[in-house]
A and B are shown apart, each in its own frame.
Chain A
Amino acid sequence: MTKFSDEKLAKVQEIIARYPDGKQKSALLPVLHLAQEEFGWLSSDTMDYVASLLSIEPIEVYEVATFYSMYNLQPVGRYTFEVCQTGPCMIKGSDDIISYIEQKLNIKPGQTTEDGMFTLKTVECLGACGYAPMMQMGKFYKEHLTKEKVDAIIDECRKTAAANN
């Protein structure tokens, strides 16, 4: 049974309090982000739980969560590579970067490595065209990507993960 910690629940209440009475549905996006942070991805159970927190129908959570690509509706790896594939990045070789990652990690976009470490996604413009090709990894932008840079990023992720375990 998914459930927020008391601390997170207080945060939920704080978010809800930002909106007028009866408009608690407005808190849906930030609460979903919170849920994703806490549980890693949004399962049906998690979404139902969020619906109950906001006193709305589950269908109202599903319609929102399925709309945004930032919400993960399937389990993802520890690190998510979201490679931009819009015009400028594509011209600067994002296709090569994507196929290099595919080959190196042996996954296709949308898939996760067997060890649960990496997920590869393709996304549209992240507003960093001046640093193309680029990708987003969690909260960080990785810019001017080359094959070597991708190698380094993957190595660093593995090291950090090993150190934290």
Chain B
Amino acid sequence: MVIHIDNKEYNIKSGKNLLEACLSVGLDLPYFCWHPAMGSVGACRQCAVKVYKDENDTKGRLVMSCMEGVKDGLYLSIEDKTAKEFREQVIEWLMTNHPHDCPVCDEGGACHLQDMTVMTGHDYRRFKYKKRTYTNQYLGPLIHHEMNRCIQCYRCVRYYRDYAGGDDLNVFAAHNHVYFGREKDGVLQSPFSGNLSEVCPTGVFTDKTLKEHYTRKWDLTMSPSVCNHCSVGCNTIAAERYGELRCILNRYNGDVNGYFLCDRGRFGYEFVNSENRIKRVIIRNRAGEASTEEELMQHLQPLVSMSKIIGIGSPRASLESNFALMQLVGKQNFYQGISEDEAHLNRVCIDVLQSGSVHSASLKEIEQADAVLVVGEDIWNTAPMMALAVRQAVVKTAGAEASQHVQIPVWLDSAIKELAQEDKGFLAVLNVSASPLDELATHAWHATPDDLSRAAFAIAAYLQPGKLQADNFSEELTNQAKAIGEALKQAKNPVIITGVSSYNDNVIKAAFDIAASLNTAGRKTGMACVMTECNSMGLALMDAPAFNHAMDSVRPNGHATAVILENDLYRHLTPNLVDNFLNKCDHIIVLDSLHNSTTEKASVLLPAATFAEGDGTLVNNEGRAQRFFQVIPNADTQVKESWQWLWKMQMLRSQKVNGHVLHPDELLQKMETDMPQFKGITSVSPGHDYTIHGERIPREPHRYSGRTAIQANKNVSEPKPFYDGDSPLSFTMEGFKGVPPSWAVPFFWAPGWNSVQSVAKYQDEPNGSLKGGNPGVRLLQDKKKENADLFFKDVPEQFVITKDKWLLLPKFHVLGSGELSGYTKALEVLSPELFAIISPKSAEALNVKEGDMLQLTDAGIAYGSLPVKVLDNMCDGVVFVNAGSRGTVGMNWGTRINLAKVN
């Protein structure tokens, strides 16, 4: 529809509010309390505009633009004198108590309040009385609290409580002594608390880890990046200064993470700066160090020239690195560095998602689902942002439905909440143990993975009666299946979520049967499968055999070199398996970024780049390939991307003296030709020589300071900027100044908009796609297939609890699980200790109580003993062991083991 803003015509989508309309056409209008993900409440009065009856109306009336919907032919004015004065006055009031401490405030230079104050024109303080002051609280190691700066927009509690479901942050008192905080000092309990630093329009809540090595936004070198800490693949901005990673910021992607990140993703970056980093080449058992690259290559020559060379790939290394390894060793010698079980589960996920009978759901699609079923995956702990998306689906469905009946727009937040009261969308959670997601669930049920899959098969059988012959489901299961199946049938866009962490393929198959049964005409059904690492999907798509088969390929007394890529094998596999393999190999070349049990075994250890020092592509669990770009220049270190090392080794092996410089896009091109499953991968980002009007995209904002003197402690001459030949981004301030293509946005900034709120200038509309489409390429194409091949024949028998065989499963933790993020001090503090976790009944059967020690043995493998922790709301017959965190080892997850009390 057409509306008139300050006498100019604009085409606007219907259903928007006036503020969204103004922002979506690129106009500047100040606001505080409105947030695109949270809607309007009209609290701050900052976005006032004049609205006129028709073109002849000269008087008009003042309205809050966030509270009024667009109407066809509407006339409004942003520039009107009264409206401008009103907005200036609002800021003046808000600023009466603000401490004006910008020079010492972490928000300074990226502050929405600063931007809005400048935008409205308020510049002179008339208020002569004292400012009110507050005592701040300790909110834990992640978030810093500074209440004096507060302007009472209420965004923090609306985000923390309403959006993210936290209950330990609240608002106290009234008038000009409103206080946002906890009941008393203490760690914020929500694993999404980090977003407060971006939601708060000023410096009340700021990133405490950034404080440890603070840098202003304008002094940061920034790159588009992708989170490494789970399989969801949230888009991030990685920021560097003085060769150190300073912070991680959200990078909006309308299809994936939207405006938010989880705390593991936001704060888990400090492993990059960790003392445990491998920064130099280490050659063990060699007289004299290989100090030059030439010497190193001489040393490597015989190793890589061995007739048998085995490559072990990694689920957390980029596609480029995995593929370069495959190129070096040959397809027949390339193995996934994960267990046979995990590889099988990943394969099942890919098979069902590629079957054509279901659609692989993006995070955005999950957020918009009107019914959700989670089977056998503790997504709160394994894919936190997916849990947050499910929360939105559940909380917002009722409101969205109600809004249609009464014609209240969905963005009118408080009216919709009032209308929906406690009505919620449908959510069923069938899991091994309870999680905070259960509180939102219509049905929450805890059972062993076998029984979960039986429950899911029962639902599928209800949806497709007659497909399953001779079921022996109990009455309870049948009734539950009926209730859940009926609710899913009523939905228009249901989503079924499952994953690999139950170590049971029947769970995935049963979830698929439900999704496929629902995917009929008129219903768009999504399915999501959570995997373990950031590139588990990418590695699985390469379709290589699992690690277990690598062993068989080394003949006894044969000679072999193993090349192990960015992978602590001891975490993915049982120790005896890894030891057996490594003992069989003559040489072990390991490429990694952090020291771990596998790097200890290396005869040659090569320092590999983390996501911050290198370029690469990761495939998330949706099948979306996403590119990350280097942000720390590694000019004077030995650190290189693994694919660079592997390319050098390939040159050695093929005895080419001077191979040409390899670019990552070349690897992807080769990959696309060699492996049809990666069709389209080259369009993830254009080639390294891409320019816009002959200019490259700068990683540094135009206000970046100290460029000429930044190295003055080493050399007073101005250093040459680091040249990045791998991507179209440059390590300078110069270059293209407009909005870059969506895959190459190194930071959000627009004239007058220094804070993260400037993202609106990069979007088609608030909450919409980035201009030119959201980044990432979906590798799993939707093929239409009428009759799905269902798995009904695989219904397992009911799980039988026995006293001597306990089902061993991994227990993940929302902050603690993450091999790399575990090296962030703040997250390490918040991570749980290692426990053997069992249900109260299991504890009774084993005659143990909390704190006792349990010995874990699995057919000859002694896993050692762990203290017992008793957990209510988990099923009997299962023993959980904390997984993913520091100090955990690979176990035969999903097998049944012996437990014995240690006296």
Contacts and interface: CB of A to CB of B under 8 A. Distances in A.
Contacts of B596: none
Contacts of A59: 167-168, 170, 182-183
A140 interface: no
Interface stretch (A32-40, A60-68, A88-96): A60-68
Interface in A32-61: 57-60
A62 B173 CA distance: 8
Interface in B167-216: 167-168, 170-174, 179, 182-183
User: Which of B168, B174, B183 has the most chain A CB atoms closer than 10 A to its own CB?
Assistant: B183
B145 to A, nearest CB: 16
Contacts of B174: 66-69
Given A63-B172, A67-B174, A58 B179 contact: no
Contact of B172 (A57, A66, A69): A66
A68 to B, nearest CB: 7
Interface in B359-391: none
A133 B344 CA distance: 83
Contacts of A60: 170
Given A59-B183, A62-B183, A67 B172 contact: yes
A59 B168 CA distance: 7
A57 B184 CA distance: 13
B57 to A, nearest CB: 34
B861 to A, nearest CB: 45
Contact of B167 (A57, A66, A68): A57
B171 A63 contact: yes
Contacts of B173: 66-67
A58 B183 contact: yes
Interface residues of B, number: 10
Nearest to A60: B170
Interface in B825-850: none
Contacts of A62: 170, 172, 183
B808 to A, nearest CB: 36
A85 to B, nearest CB: 14
Interface size class of A (residues with CB under 8 A): 10 to 19
A70 to B, nearest CB: 11
B160 to A, nearest CB: 12
A66 B175 CA distance: 11
A134 to B, nearest CB: 21
A60 B183 CA distance: 9
Contacts of B167: 57, 59
Given A57-B167, A59-B170, A66 B179 contact: yes
Nearest to A124: B175
A124 to B, nearest CB: 9
Contacts of B182: 59
Contacts of A63: 170-172
Interface in A93-116: none
A68 B171 CA distance: 13
B169 to A, nearest CB: 9
Contacts of A69: 174
A57 B168 CA distance: 9
Nearest to B172: A66
B351 to A, nearest CB: 45
A66 B172 CA distance: 6
Interface in A120-134: none
A63 B170 CA distance: 7
A99 B174 CA distance: 26
A62 B181 CA distance: 11
Contacts of A58: 183
Contacts of B183: 57-59, 62
A58 B170 CA distance: 11
A12 to B, nearest CB: 22
Nearest to B167: A57
Contacts of A57: 167, 183
Nearest to A67: B174
Interface string B148-178: 0000000000000000000110111110000
Nearest to B422: A22
A13 to B, nearest CB: 24
Contacts of A68: 174
Nearest to A73: B173
B647 to A, nearest CB: 57
Contacts of A67: 172-174
B334 to A, nearest CB: 54
Contacts of B172: 62-63, 66-67
Contacts of B171: 63
B176 to A, nearest CB: 13
A61 to B, nearest CB: 9
A51 B170 CA distance: 15
Interface string B17-61: 000000000000000000000000000000000000000000000
A57 B172 CA distance: 14
Interface in B285-327: none
Of the listed residues B167, B170, B171, B179, the one surrounded by the most CB atoms of chain A closer than 10 A to its CB is B170
Nearest to A57: B167
A11 B167 CA distance: 29
B717 to A, nearest CB: 58
Nearest to B177: A66
A60 B170 CA distance: 8
Interface of B: 167-168, 170-174, 179, 182-183
Which 10 A-B pairs rank lowest in CB-CB distance, beginning with the nearest?
Answer: A59-B183, A66-B173, A66-B172, A67-B174, A63-B170, A59-B170, A63-B172, A58-B183, A62-B172, A62-B183
Interface of A: 57-60, 62-63, 66-69
8 contacts: A57-B167, A57-B183, A59-B182, A59-B183, A63-B171, A63-B172, A66-B173, A67-B172
Given A58-B183, A62-B170, A69-B174, 5 more contacts: A57-B183, A59-B182, A66-B172, A66-B174, A67-B172
